[in-house]
Amino acid sequence: MTRPLNHDEASEALAAAALDALDGDEQAAVLLHAEACPICGPELAALRDAVANLAAAAPLPEGEIDSRLARARTRLLARVNADHADRPAGAPETAPGVRPLMIARPRGRFSLTPWVSLALAASVAGVAVLLRDRAALERQVAAARDSVGTLAATRAQLAERDSLVHRLTGPETVVVALAANRGPAASALMFWDRGANSWTMFARAVPPPPSGKTYQVWLVTPTAKISAGTFTPSPSGDAVVTATYPLDRDSLRAVAVTEEPAGGVPQPTGQLVMVGQAK
């Protein structure tokens, strides 16, 4: 059973009751007193109106924070404007996810109305600031992640560049120059890193192959013609071909490019396009 409050006790608790900040029994006792008191009743109604007006008048920030702050303010309005007559005794309504704003009850007799108004205004403004700060922090975290990703990509590119430079200029690298078999147009350089068994060919001014055809690269030894891959040049005639194939250091005799059916063939059958002799 709710203990009745005298006028002084109820008057001191009106501001907290307007914010639904009291325990269930004490909240019910204040409301019960306010219903019958010609002084506390109007003062409680005025406090509730002030709280609702301050919450409704709080400006919203721009951007994606609007919807979050709007939801927070809606929950606050729902709490302060709820009809206490529809609530069960001892069970003040609080919107989900919103912690009650606890206000210490002062000693002595004086009005808490201006302090409640100031506290609520600061609370609503604080929500906006916190949401803005959170959005700024999220943007900073996203930017940091982008920077880390960019740094990782840059490091990978630098590592690939260093590896390429080593393949092209290392002490184990042999270079074979290819020239067009007929005419001065197409040319290429094949870099063979004998230590890593890697092959890198750069071609230029290579005409597009006929329909249904491709270009195939061959490593020519005294006993075999070994495929090092196929390629189709870019519209400008450039191409890069890479392969990994172990070969005895002294076995390479030439590098050749032939015109073959699309997909390549096990052994060369088509027209010779470029060829270069190994030194």
Nearest to 227 by CA among 239, 218, 238: 218
Model confidence at 190, pLDDT cuts 50, 70, 90, reads very high
Residue-wise pLDDT for 204-228, tens only, equals: 999 999 999 999 999 999 999 999 9
Give the residue among 102, 113, 81 at the shortest CA–CA distance from 11.
113
Average pLDDT over the chain reads 76
Contacts of 256 (CB under 8 A, 6+ apart): 178, 217, 218, 220, 225, 268, 272, 274, 275, 276
Stated as kind and residue range, the H or E segment containing 65 is helix 65-81
Identify the weakest region by mean pLDDT among 99-103, 191-195, 228-232, 254-258: 99-103
Is the CB of residue 216 less than 8 Å from the CB of residue 230? Answer: yes
Cα 50–Cα 53–Cα 56 angle in degrees, nearest 5: 150
pLDDT band at 83; cut points 50, 70, 90: very low
Higher pLDDT, 61 or 161: 161
Q: What is the DSSP letter of 235?
A: T
3-class SS string, 137-182: HHHHHHHHHHHHHHHHHHHHHHHHHHHHHHHHHCCCEEEEEEEECC
Burial label for 193, CB within 10 Å (0-12, 13-18, 19+), is: buried
- Tokens 């989900």 locate to 96
Res 278: pLDDT: 92
Q: Report percent pLDDT > 90 for the chain.
A: 35
User: Domains in the chain and their CATH numbers?
Assistant: 7-141 (no CATH), 173-277 (2.60.40)
> What confidence tier does 194 reach under pLDDT thresholds 50, 70, 90?
very high
Flag the least confident range among 46-60, 104-118, 244-258, 259-273: 104-118
What is the rounded CA–CA span in Å between residue 10 and residue 170? 91
**CA nearest neighbour of 208 among 174, 179, 238:** 238
pTM for the model: 0.45
* 148-178 as b/e: b if 16+ CB within 10 A: eeeeeeeeeeeeeeeeeebbeeeeebeebeb
* CA dist., res. 226 & res. 217, Å (int): 8
Q: Is 33 helix (H, G, I), strand (E, B) or coil?
A: helix
What is the DSSP track for 106-146?
Answer: PSSS---HHHHHHHHHHHHHHHHHHHHHHHHHHHHHHHHHH
Report, as an integer, the average pLDDT of 128-144. 69
Q: State the DSSP code for 196.
A: T
